[in-house]
Amino acid sequence: MLEQPLNSKLDSTLRLESTVSTTPTISSINTAGQAKVAPRKKITTLTLRQKKQRGEPISMLTAYDYPMARALDQAGIDAILVGDSLGMVVLGYANTLPVTMEDMLHHCKAVARGAQSALLIGDMPFMSYQLSPWEAARNAGRFLQEAGMDAVKLEGGSERSEAVQAIVSAGIPVMGHLGLTPQSIHLLGGFRPQGRDAQAARRLLADALLLQDLGCFSIVLESVPARLAGWISEQLEIPTIGIGAGPRCDGQVLVTHDLLGLFDRLVPRFVRQYADLNFEMQRAFRAYRSEVEEGVFPAPEHTVEMPDEEWLAFQSELQEVAA
């Protein structure tokens, strides 16, 4: 656990930060009638711990490109995870295992250009941290140094203790991930809930406490029974972020493509769809195709014209060349 002097210093820092609001405020209305959000103070790992202390829920969503990151940031989302879930919802893989470091860095760079205030977390892909602590720290460093992330996330508990320790020792904030860990689906027997018996629950608690002791600033709990996730959250000083883990975690995360109804190949039962953009996209695409086939688009208002005199001059020049 953290020693008392460090805790005291951290608490005073958090009290100082608590005087600064991180909630976006509407400053004006633009000509399109859309609310413009005033700039927020940059969200940090300390901000998340501060919110846990005050009992304020933490919001986190995924993004993989510039426009999505910009939209999430303007909506006031606390943290943006560039998840290896991009392998499934963006790249079309059956799972997250084929995702590479280069894939992740490419998408992280785009997200970093789009979001200025949210805490940015890069998901370490399969085999980027499992082989050795040195390689784990080196790859984690690339997320910050090359891709503009503020922190990294990795899966696993005690079996990843050396990797977590090496990364934290290098000065890189680490978010843990326990419960259903998608990079271990072959060991788990698929996308299955975890921690449903007493022995598994004890392991989850032990791993959560260990990750906290190793210096993780937060832990994702995925597909864990709600009462267990809530109880673990109460035992920890660091915030938990739930996904399919009930309402008593300190925050919640969803894959944005699931939330928006953009990905219908696999929809977990814990997902709530706040929109059906796949339907809206199909409607728009069909309308476009129909207008193109019927000659309705492009209309005059979508067309660039040249002055009549210039057109006549052009035609005259062509006739002179032909003669």
Q: Would you please indicate which residues are annotated as catalytic (active-site) residues?
A: 222
Phi, psi of 283 (to 5 degrees): -60, -45
- β-bridge partners, 58: 251
**180 touches 192 (CB < 8 A):** yes
Pairing mode, strands 174-179 and 240-243: unpaired
How far is the C-alpha of 125 from the C-alpha of 105, rounded, in Å? 10
Length of the chain: 323
Asked whether the CA dihedral 50, 56, 57, 58 is positive or negative, the reply is: negative
What's 65's DSSP letter? S
- What is the C-alpha separation between 62 and 258, in angstroms, rounded? 10
Q: How far is CA 215 from the centre of its chain?
A: 21
Nearest to 66 by CA among 110, 116, 117: 110
